[in-house]
Amino acid sequence: LRIDWLAAELAGFLVTEARLRMQTLLAAAVTQAGNSCFITDLEGRICWSNAAFTRLTGYTAIEVLGHNPRFLASGRQGLRYYQNLWNTLRAGQVWNSETIDRDRLGNHYTIRQTISPIRVGEQISHYLSVHEDISQQREVQRLMDLETRIDPQSGLLNAASFEQSLQAACD
């Protein structure tokens, strides 16, 4: 009887120890990830961010703690964009899109953003936001678009050329 009790206690200890090792591994993975990550509570307040987030935005983890990530908003996304984001997340689904944000110095950058609900049991408790900086890819595409200037199907200026012409006319 004593041996059965000891075996059960040991088995419980090993399960707990394995769970703690996995939690430690997962925490290290998101902390050290090359992509910018942050976690918010249900109201959208940042409760954790990684070093890649600091490198991308210029804001430290302590500075953003408790703040809504709207301070990163560039103004390029409209109300409908954010309504879709929140409707998707509150429905318990993963949301992803390209987003233009603004860093600490006011510079715009483009990210491919994925936000996932985090569940504890059946309830959503937090949201994980992961960002891939695609600014350089978008700039290369813009420069390639400028080289072609005219859309072959419509015969009109392409978007990049039109934007450049409009900016030149406004200056």
pLDDT tens digit string along 66-78? 999 999 999 999 9
Tell me the whole-structure pTM to 2 decimals. 0.75
| Cα 76–Cα 77–Cα 79 angle in degrees, nearest 5 | 135
Contact call for residues 86 and 96 (beta carbons, < 8 A): no
Query: Would you mind telling me the total number of residues written for the chain in this entry?
Result: 171
Question: Would you say the C-alpha torsion 140, 59, 64, 39 has a positive or negative sign?
Answer: positive
Q: What is the pLDDT of residues 82-98, one digit of tens each?
A: 999 999 999 999 999 99
| Cα 117–Cα 119–Cα 120 angle in degrees, nearest 5 | 155
Confidence of residue 146 (pLDDT cuts 50, 70, 90): low
Confidence of residue 131 (pLDDT cuts 50, 70, 90): very high
HSE-CB at 57 with a 13 A cutoff on CA atoms is 27
